[in-house]
Amino acid sequence: EVQLVESGGDLVQPGGSLRLSCAASGLTFSNYNMNWVRQAPGKGLEWISYIHSGGNTIWYANSVRGRFTISRDNAKNSLYLQMNSLRDEDTAVYHCATSGGYRFGYWGQGTLVTVSS
């Protein structure tokens, strides 16, 4: 069974930093392109970042470019999201998700990030 388990969500003040992790099991992680997708409370889904299976191609949404950094460690079957200069509007549940064929396949349940003073 494929499992994606996010961790690292917390309450953080505006301007602060946080690092999210996504631990993958039940799949050959190094074969999968990975993404972070977030959902603000009561709001819709927002794709925020993509990293190719080999880590050599990375994309960001305009809303996070320059503040967030996606990375992966295939040896540890893990995906990361370093979030800096956090804003109130970054408050959301952050999901990691695989992508293939231009759609998202497996999703984690998400980790909650709350940005508030």
Q: What is the DSSP string of 26-73?
A: SS-GGG-EEEEEEE-TTS-EEEEEEE-TTS--EEE-TTTTTTEEEEEE
Q: Which one, of 26, 45, 27, lies nearest residue 36 by Cα?
A: 45
Contact residues toward other proteins (CB under 8 A) are 35, 43-47, 50, 59, 61-63, 95, 101-105, 107-110
Q: Which is nearer to other proteins, 31 or 109 (CB)?
A: 109
Taking the complex as a whole, the smallest distance from the CB of residue 52 to other proteins amounts, in Å, to: 11
- Residue 103 CB, shortest distance to other proteins, in Å, is 4
Closer CB to other proteins, residue 49 or residue 77?
A: 49
Contact 86, 28 (CB under 8 A): no
In the complex with other proteins, the residue whose CB is nearer, 59 or 76, is 59
